[in-house]
Structure 1
Amino acid sequence: MSTIAEFRLPAVETTLGTAIEHAAGATFELESSVSKTRPSLWVSGVDRETANAAFEADPSVEEYDLLVETESRLLFDVSFVDETMGLRDELLADGGSLLEMWGTDGWWQVRVRFRSRDTLTDAYDRLEEAGISADLRRVTDVSGVTDDETRLTPEQQEALEAALEHGYFEIPRGISMEELAGELGISHQALSERFRRAYETLVDDELQPAGEQSRAE
């Protein structure tokens, strides 16, 4: 049975601590699917000049390139001096999968899928040995998906259930996305991404024939 764990880690002990400090109010979110050669990071809450200055000030950043600029956020490809974001060895050495990672106000929130509780325990021990003050916020055991179950992650299901409970889907809305993110203890951007991935999964389940779903899984 796989296990999903959510950690809260101080940026100063892990990665981009200086950049996060210089870009007060910004949120940095890892976008692992965009670049296969180096990490890509969405930066929101600040303008381009502030984001550039934050990367320039951080001694761990070797090079950064702006890929996408929208009204609300910026996407950068980033190379680090030691060719790592500083957490890979500690968290993913036993085959863990990084699901989400976002940082703001001096902290990183990281979600990782582990093969078992034992591999989670080993990863936590490695963080401690590396001098990283890891705060394990949540642990969820994930069983295999059957025909009667949803393919939503526990976090995605939690977000949708909270949205329904607080009237987010009502007209007019009973709560804003910013307020709902506060209720869940995550950033606005993280909640938006959970909704996006949950909608994609639900639409895929609804539109894809049952036989094709079984083969895809």
Structure 2
Amino acid sequence: MSLFAEFHVPSDVFALYRTLQAAPETTVEIERVVAAEEILTPYFWVSGGDLARFETAIEDDPTVENLQQLDEFDRATLYRANWTENVETIVYAYTQVGATILEATGAGDRWELQMRFDDRDRLDQFQTYCNDETIPFQLIQLHELTQPRTGRQYGLTRKQHDALVTAWQLNYFTSTDVSLTDVAAELGISQQSLSQRLHRGYQSLIEETLIVSPPAEEGT
């Protein structure tokens, strides 16, 4: 049975600690992590603060390398990088047990992580790994995949759930008078962040519903 867990961890046990210390007004939101040939490549949005200060700080950060700027908007900039082997804490702990990072937001001295574990044993392995390596973490919420199914149990993070529900409540999906900017303003986030949350939310809903339960054959 899948488990969805929300953790708070100090930034020095995850990634970009030096960068977040040098640019404390900056917020980093990881969009997804791609693994290829044992190299972990995060794609992340950066918002707030001085972007030049952030880029200068990240050059001296031992936890990432090969930084590339992919897209730049008014309120957020999308980057790609490689996590280095110096990140032998939470980053590699979750790969050891096959967990999935659904969402990760870092600012100042803290990261907020939302992760999915296939079962209780994998969560226990993760906690044991963290305890053995003296990695501090604070478990905030834990949800199981039980009936009736809720948004989180469909693979949605809290922020994705809030984005989809707010968009629905404002009639974004049915009215041409409501724009993405309107929904973003209601949530107090940038249009780019909202777009990414909706995109990831759609993907999770499709994977957990349409793919799991294919349509019946025509005529049945």
Counting matched residue pairs gives: 199
CA contact 1:97–1:113 (8 Å) conserved in 2: yes
Query: Which of residues 118, 123, 127 is equivalent to 2:126?
Result: 123
- Give the aligned partner of residue 55 of structure 1: 58
Task: After TM superposition, give the deviation of residue 155 of structure 1 in Å.
Answer: 2.5
Deviation digits for residues 168-209 of structure 1, max 9, x if unmatched?
738999x8313xx8xxxxx9987764444345667x69xx8x
CA distance in 2, matches of 1:54, 1:20: 8
Q: For residues 59-208 of structure 1, what are the structure 2 equivalents within 5 Å? A: 59-82=62-85, 84=87, 86-143=89-146, 151=154, 153=156, 155=158, 159=162, 163=166, 169=170, 176-178=186-188, 193-198=196-201
- Give the aligned partner of residue 28 of structure 1: 28
Stretches of structure 1 that go unaligned for 5 or more consecutive residues are 182-186
Stretches of structure 2 that go unaligned for 5 or more consecutive residues are 172-177
Q: What CA RMSD, in Å, does the superposition of the two structures yield over aligned residues?
A: 4.0
Percent identity between matched residues is: 24
CA contact 1:15–1:85 (8 Å) conserved in 2: no
CA distance in 2, matches of 1:155, 1:11: 21
TM (normalized to structure 2)?
Answer: 0.69
Q: Structure 1 residues 54, 189: CA separation in 2 closer, same or farther (over 3 Å shift)? A: farther
CA contact 1:14–1:132 (8 Å) conserved in 2: no
- Give the aligned partner of residue 41 of structure 1: 44
SS of alignment partner, residue 32 of structure 2: coil
CA distance in 1, matches of 2:27, 2:128: 28
SS of alignment partner, residue 153 of structure 1: coil
SS of alignment partner, residue 134 of structure 2: coil
TM (normalized to structure 1)?
Answer: 0.70
- Give the aligned partner of residue 175 of structure 2: none
CA contact 1:39–1:77 (8 Å) conserved in 2: yes
CA distance in 1, matches of 2:131, 2:61: 24
